[in-house]
Structures are given as C-alpha cells and as structure tokens.
Chain A
Amino acid sequence: MTWKWESQRKQYGRALVELGKERSDIVVLDADLSSSTRTADFASAFPERFFNCGIAEQNMIDTAAGLAASGKTVFVSTFAVFGTGRCYDQIRQSVAYPKLNIKIVASHAGITVGGDGASHQIIEDIALMRVLPNMAVIVPVDSNETYNVVKAIAKTKDPVYVRIGRADVPTVTDKDTPFEMSKANVMRDGTDVTLIGCGILVSKCLEAAEELAKHGIDARVINLHTIKPLDEKTVVKAARETGGVVTAEEHSVMMGMGSAVAMCLVENFHVPMKRVGIPDVFGESGACNELMEKYGLTIENIVEAAHDVMKRKK
C-alpha cells in the first residue's frame, strides 16, 4: 500500500485559524513551542487572542482555566510530554475537576519524535489523561481527521485531550470521512479477527489486514480515535462477530488504548486478545522507522499477533 504522508500539526494550525475567524471566544495558549505545534498560525492571525506563556506549562494550564471560567473556549498546546506529565496537577485540579472548556492539543507524542530520545517521547500520556474523570481522549488518525477533530471538539464545552505526532503520518481517511466523537470508524470489514488501531498504527493495521488476507484471514480494521469515552458498542460487536481482537498503538501497553479495549472486553465479551504497543520501557533516540521496529510497532508485529489470536480462538 502506498500512502500519502501529511502533517497533522499543519491541519491543527489551519483548523484553529478557521475557528478563530468563525468565533471570537476562541483563545489559544502555548508554552514557547508555537512554531512547532503550529499555534503560531493562529498567533499571527489573531495576536490579541494568543497568549504565549513561556516555558511554564503549569502556569499555562491554570491561566487557561481562568479564561475558560470567563466564557472562553481555550486551546492549549505544547509537546505532549510537557502538556500532560509536567502539569498533571493543574490539569487535574483546574481542568478536569471543574470540567472547564479547555482543549489540550498536544503534539510530538510517542516514540516517533525520534532523535530527541526518551526525555521527549511520551508513551504514557493516554494513560495519564484517560484516568481523569471528565476528560475525553482523542488520537486523530491522520491530517484530515486532525482537522475534523479540532472543528468538532470546539463545539463541545468539556475538557478534551487530543494527541498528535510530530512526524507526517499516512493519510487513511479522506476529507469527507465523518468524525464523530466516541464513534469508532470501521475502516475494513472482516469476520475472522479485528485489528483495532489508533493514530499512526491504523495504517499499519490496514496493511496487516492485506497481509492476513493472503493467508485467508479476513480481518476487520477499526480506527478507534476516541479512547474515552470508548465506543464500547463497536468494540464489543467486533469481538462478538470476529471472535478475536488485536490492538495496536504508539503508546505503552500498560494503560493505553489496548488496555481500555481489554477492560471493556473482559467485562462484556471475552475473546482472545493481544496488545501491540510499546512494552513497559522508555524509548531512545533513533529514526522513526528504526524505533517502530525496535519497539514492536510494525506490520509484522500486528500480523503475528493476529495469528496468535487466531490460534487461541475456539
């Protein structure tokens, strides 16, 4: 399969500028990374509604809380490693607990940050955010979906965490693919096994499905963009109809999308399952594809997991 590779950040910047034109209540905060997160596009279009907080993420989140409490729809951006762990208490106390209208759109998540190494490769942000009451967690699959997600969440009044990457990602949707929060997108039908991916791993699930087809295995592929609130209906239906599930994510297997799916299935419809993701270790410097390979996020890893699940099916 050949993919068109496009930037999620660029679409984030574009969507923000459009929102800024449409609505005067949109304000944007960044912590000295606006040219990387692309909030700089909004900053040039609407300088009076953009506040650079400097390298002070804790302060940025609480400032956002004050703006949101005053009726603003606040987008806050920085790298995912700084926009979650570094200001966790602020997100907990001043965003999630008071359920304020703040959208944390964090870029440079996961190991595909590449050369910066483990200090910058957050692989636990989904875990941190999904355990917070009132917090929704979305991982847009590609550039089109990033744009659609930003436009969609701006219509809600509640806290949302959106995780995007640094690198360009394969475009698996088209501009008209609908995005509805908490409504998983079945990208390919299948009856033998279900591959559930989020973010950059969805394209790999699609490729793995092609590979499995060669072995006579008919795999369903789901883009589970919203990790919380989870589309339990689509997940359980897939488990019921295919009898086995593989999840794949660029995140620690400890408490990411895969474990959300596992928890859902354990309680609702128990089927053989395998999680593809980063094992319980920190990353390191390297090229994206080298890291994906070393940490087990390849098409082959997914195919192998699917075979394993197939074997365990009754």
Chain B
Amino acid sequence: MEIYDGEFIAELEAIAKRVRSHSITMIYRAGSGHPGGSLSGVDIMVALYFHVMKHDSKRPDWPERDRFVLSKGHAAPALYAVLAEAKYFPEKELETLRKLGSRLQGHPCMRKTPGVEMSTGSLGHGLAAGNGMALAAKLDRKLYRIYVLCGDGEMDVGETWEAAMLASHYKLDNITAYIDRNKLQLDGPTEKIMSLEPLADKWKAFGWHVIEINGHSMKEIIQATNEAKGVKGRPTAIICHTIKGKGVSYMEGSLHFHGKAPTDEEYKQAMKELGGTDR
C-alpha cells in the first residue's frame, strides 16, 4: 500500500476547499444552479484532476490524456472550478457561469469549455459515453483511462444499467465509475423515491469490481482508484459515500439546496465556513 504523506493530502484538501468556495460563489452570482450535488462530488474530482489523471491544461486535446466525464452534469460548477484551478481557463471566467455568451453553460458543453470531454446534463448518459471512449482506447491500443462521475439518482436510469452491462461484456478494465452516493435526489431520499439498495450487489451482479469508500477522504479515493487500475478484465465501480452539500453546514444533507442558489445571508455564512472571499 502506498504511503500518503499528510502534507500532500492537505494540499488536495486545500484545493477542494477552494473549489467548494468557487462553486458556491458561482451559483450565488448566477442566481441558480445545484450546490448540493456540486459539493458532494468535489473531493472525487479534485483527487482525479490533481493526483490521478494524466492531463495537460495547455493541450486539452492531447490524445494520450485520461478522460473525465461528469455524468451528473448539474455538478458543472464544481467541474468548472476544478478546471479553472487546473488552469484550463482563467479563474475570473468562473464569474460568467450561466450568463449569456459564456463558455460556462449551466450544464457541461464539450464544444464550448476547454477540458470538458462530453456534453452532459440529461441524466444517465455519461457512463455509456465513457464506455465509447474506453472502447476507442482499446481499439487504438492506448493506455489512457476513463473516469466517470455518476450521481446516485442516475442509478434510476435504465441506460445506466445498459451501460453497466456493456462495460463488463466488453471487459472494459480501463473505465472507472464513481458513484456519488449522497443519498438524496431532487424529490427526496433515494431510498424513498426509488430504492437503490443493495447497490453494491447490483453492480457486482453486472460484473463489476466494486469498492465502497468515504467519498470525502482523499486517501480513500486515491487508494480505491489505484486498486481499480490493477483490476484486469472488468470495470470498477467505486461507491463513494458522500454528504450532499458537504462543506457548508446548513447545506449538508439538505434537500433544499439540491437546485437553489444561496441568499445573501446564506452566501456570507458559506464563505465564512469555506474560507472564501465574500464577493
């Protein structure tokens, strides 16, 4: 097992904190967006972009790069903040989220935003698109890997399971799916709206290697990803137990902030907690 030095983990955590702060600021300024699901997936995206993935912000189309697909496209603010931190575009541009003429659409658009690999937003598409990329990598005998972040609400979607079947049928060991298991979807708790459990067993039954982790632990995200890289002949699903709205006390576990921007007061409070600048 790798040894993780505390300083390195702390660095990732600091980036994640900035990304959270950017995300909330963007949504606040835009007056709309999805804070809850953005915050729950931040640590996974930060671990991927700042430790796991081979990529180069100066060459977004570098053929050998690893690919990240944000299947839960409504977490776009977090993805944009990660891409800005990774220098795909200036941090200042984050202010333009959801504004007319912006490259930062409400949901990711691969034709507008440097670093965005797939246009998403309608749920349940990302894993299948990731599979297509994984098939292409195999065809071209390339070593790059595909990372897909799915929301747990997307487990309701039939296509998710069609894609799960395809990935194991074609033995796509170059794709890893992260399931942001924050246990809340728009209308309520996932188990109340459409029961998902036993979720790990479902993925196992579809032929996937399954790992369950704390999706806010950088160490666990990295360890699980390394384990996935070593699995041959089948894909890996990492069920990341997370908290919706993670990092902002009053948003944590709150349904209210699935798709609503904070008020002025709420925004001030969030910035206090995230150590961001009140803009």
Contact = CB atoms under 8 A, between A and B. Distances in A.
B56 to A, nearest CB: 17
Q: Which of A27, A58, A62, A98 has the most CB of B within 10 A?
A: A62
Interface in A192-240: none
A88 to B, nearest CB: 11
Q: Determine the interface band of chain B, counting residues with CB < 8 A from chain A.
A: 20 to 34
B136 A71 contact: yes
A65 interface: yes
A93 B170 contact: no
B111 A93 contact: no
B129 A63 contact: yes
Interface string B118-161: 11111001101111111111011000000000000000001100
Nearest to B134: A66
A91 B129 CA distance: 12
A92 B125 CA distance: 11
B119 A93 contact: yes
Interface string B91-123: 000000000000000000111000001111110
Contact of A97 (B119, B126, B130, B165): B119
B166 interface: yes
Given A62-B128, A66-B135, A70-B132, A97 B109 contact: yes
A59 B163 contact: yes
Contacts of A48: 139
Given A67-B135, A69-B132, A51 B170 contact: yes
Interface residues of A, number: 29
B166 A94 contact: no
A90 B119 CA distance: 11
Contacts, number: 99
Interface string A290-310: 000000000000000000000
B125 A69 contact: no
B110 A64 contact: no
B113 to A, nearest CB: 11
Contact of A59 (B121, B140, B166): B166
Interface of A is mostly: helix
B118 A98 contact: yes
B162 interface: yes
Contact of A27 (B110, B122, B139): B139
Interface string A122-142: 000000000000000000000
B109 A58 contact: no
Contacts of A56: 159, 162, 165-166
Contact of B117 (A58, A64, A69): A69
Interface in A108-151: none
Nearest to A52: B169
B137 A90 contact: no
Interface of B is mostly: helix
Contact of A93 (B122, B139, B140): B122
Contacts of B139: 27, 48-49, 72
B132 A65 contact: yes
A66 B110 CA distance: 12
Q: Which of B111, B129, B159 has the most CB of A within 10 A?
A: B129
A54 interface: yes
B135 A51 contact: yes
A241 interface: no
Contact of B135 (A63, A71, A89, A98): A63
Contact of A66 (B130, B140, B159): B130
A99 B165 CA distance: 27
A99 B118 CA distance: 11
A276 interface: no
Contacts of A71: 63, 136
B129 A53 contact: no
B12 to A, nearest CB: 28
B133 A62 contact: no
A94 B125 CA distance: 8
18 contacts: A53-B166, A56-B159, A56-B165, A62-B128, A62-B159, A63-B163, A65-B118, A65-B128, A66-B134, A68-B132, A71-B136, A72-B136, A93-B122, A93-B125, A94-B125, A97-B119, A98-B110, A98-B118
Given A61-B128, A67-B135, A89-B122, 14 more contacts: A27-B135, A56-B166, A59-B163, A62-B129, A62-B159, A62-B163, A63-B129, A63-B163, A65-B132, A66-B130, A66-B136, A69-B118, A70-B133, A90-B159
